[in-house]
A and B are shown apart, each in its own frame.
Chain A
Amino acid sequence: MTTKKSKVVGLEQVVVRFAGDSGDGMQLTGSLFSDSTAFAGNDFATFPDYPAEIRAPQGTVAGVSGFQIHFGQNTIYTSGDLADVLIAMNPASLKANMKWIKNGAIIIIDIDAFTEKGYEKAGYASDPLTDGTLDGYNMIKAPITAFTKEAVKHLDLDNKSVLKTKNMFALGIIMYMFNRELKHVNTYYEKKFKANPLIIEANKAVLAAGFNYADTIEALGSTFKVEPAPLEKGKYRNITGNVATAWGFMAAAERAKRELFLGSYPITPATEILQELTNHKDLSVKAFQAEDEIAGIVSAIGASFTGSLAITTTSGPGLSLKSEAIGLAVMTELPLVIVDVQRGGPSTGLPTKSEQSDLLQALFGRNGEAPVIIIAAQNSVDCFYSAFEAAKLSLEHMTPAILLTDGSLANGSEVFKIPRMSDMPEIHPPLVKANDASYKPYRRDPEKLNRFWAVPGTEGLRHRIGGLEKENISGNVSHDPLNHQNMIMLREEKVQRVANYIPEQEVRGKSSGELLVVSWGGTFGVMRTVVEKMQKEGKSISLAHFRHIMPLPKNTEEVLSGFKKIVVCEINNGQFVKYLKMNFPQYKYAQYNKIQGLPFMIAELEEKFNALLNE
Chain B
Amino acid sequence: MENQIIESQVINLTKDDFSSDQMVKWCPGCGDHAILHAVENVFPNLGIPKEDFVVVSGIGCSSRFPYYMNTYGIHSIHGRAAAIATGVKLANPKLSVWMITGDGDCMAIGGNHFIHTIRRNIDINILLFNNKIYGLTKGQYSPTTPKGTKTKTSPQGTFERPFNPGELVIGSQGNFFARSLDTNPKHMSAIFIEAAKHKGTSVVEVLQNCVIFFNKAHDLITSRETKDDNQLFIEHGKPLIYGKDNNKGIILKGTSLEAVTIGENGITEKDILVHNQYDADPGIHVMLARMMPPEFPVALGVIRSVAAETFETSMTDSISHEKEVSKIRNVDDLLNSGSTWTIE
Q: Chain A residues in contact with chain B, CB under 8 A?
A: 35, 38-39, 41, 228, 231-238, 247, 250-251, 254, 259, 261, 263, 280-284, 286, 288, 290-292, 294-295, 298-308, 310, 324-325, 327-328, 332, 418-421, 456-468, 476-477
State how many angstroms separate the Cβ of A271 from the closest Cβ of chain B: 19
Q: Inside 8 A of A462's CB, which chain B residues have their CB? A: 50-51, 70-72
Instruction: Please state if B341 and A38 are interface contacts (CB–CB under 8 Å).
Output: yes
- Contact residue range for chain B? 35 or more
State how many angstroms separate the Cβ of B144 from the closest Cβ of chain A: 22
With beta carbons under 8 angstroms apart, the residue of B80, B86, B94 that contacts A457 is: B94
Given contacts A305-B84, A464-B67, 5 further A-B contacts (CB under 8 A): A236-B341, A250-B331, A283-B330, A302-B74, A310-B91
Instruction: Please state if B112 and A233 are interface contacts (CB–CB under 8 Å).
Output: no
Contacts A232-B343, A261-B87 given; indicate if A457 touches B92 (C-beta within 8 A): yes
Q: Inside 8 A of A456's CB, which chain B residues have their CB? A: 51-52, 54, 72, 88, 92, 95
Contacts A251-B331, A282-B323, A302-B88 given; indicate if A457 touches B95 (C-beta within 8 A): yes
Q: List 21 A-B contacts (CB under 8 A).
A: A35-B339, A233-B344, A235-B340, A247-B334, A247-B335, A251-B331, A254-B330, A282-B322, A283-B330, A286-B319, A288-B90, A298-B83, A298-B87, A300-B87, A302-B86, A456-B54, A463-B73, A467-B75, A467-B77, A476-B22, A477-B22
Instruction: Please state if B88 and A282 are interface contacts (CB–CB under 8 Å).
Output: no
Q: Inside 8 A of B85's CB, which chain A residues have their CB? A: 302
Instruction: Please state if B91 and A302 are interface contacts (CB–CB under 8 Å).
Output: yes
Contacts A281-B323, A456-B51, A457-B94 given; indicate if A466 touches B74 (C-beta within 8 A): yes
With beta carbons under 8 angstroms apart, the residue of B59, B71, B88, B319 that contacts A303 is: B88
| B 280-319 binary contact with A (CB < 8 Å = 1; else 0) | 0000000000000000000000000000000000010011
| B 1-37 binary contact with A (CB < 8 Å = 1; else 0) | 1000000000000000000101000000000000000
Q: Chain B residues in contact with chain A, CB under 8 A?
A: 1, 20, 22, 49-52, 54, 56, 59, 66-67, 69-77, 80, 83-92, 94-95, 112-113, 116, 315, 318-319, 321-323, 325-326, 328-332, 334-336, 338-344
Q: Inside 8 A of A459's CB, which chain B residues have their CB? A: 49, 51
Instruction: Please state if A301 and B87 are interface contacts (CB–CB under 8 Å).
Output: yes
Instruction: Please state if A465 and B319 are interface contacts (CB–CB under 8 Å).
Output: no
Instruction: Please state if A237 and B340 are interface contacts (CB–CB under 8 Å).
Output: yes
Q: Inside 8 A of A283's CB, which chain B residues have their CB? A: 328, 330-331, 334
Contacts A280-B334, A462-B72, A464-B73 given; indicate if A299 touches B340 (C-beta within 8 A): no
Instruction: Please state if B92 and A306 are interface contacts (CB–CB under 8 Å).
Output: yes
Q: Inside 8 A of A291's CB, which chain B residues have their CB? A: 83, 112-113, 116
Instruction: Please state if A261 and B90 are interface contacts (CB–CB under 8 Å).
Output: yes
Once bound together, how far apart are the Cα atoms of A325 and B1, in whole Å?
31
CB closest chain-A residue, reference B49: A459
CB closest chain-A residue, reference B316: A286
State how many angstroms separate the Cβ of A94 from the closest Cβ of chain B: 32
Nearest 6 CB-CB pairs, A to B?
A302-B87, A466-B75, A282-B326, A299-B87, A306-B91, A295-B83
Once bound together, how far apart are the Cα atoms of A457 and B85, in whole Å?
15
Q: Inside 8 A of B22's CB, which chain A residues have their CB? A: 476-477
State how many angstroms separate the Cβ of B130 from the closest Cβ of chain A: 23
Q: Inside 8 A of A41's CB, which chain B residues have their CB? A: 341, 343
State how many angstroms separate the Cβ of B112 from the closest Cβ of chain A: 5
Q: Inside 8 A of B49's CB, which chain A residues have their CB? A: 459
Once bound together, how far apart are the Cα atoms of A268 and B329, in whole Å?
30
With beta carbons under 8 angstroms apart, the residue of B51, B75, B340 that contacts A464 is: B75
Q: Inside 8 A of A303's CB, which chain B residues have their CB? A: 87-88, 90-91
Q: Inside 8 A of B76's CB, which chain A residues have their CB? A: 298, 301, 328, 466-467
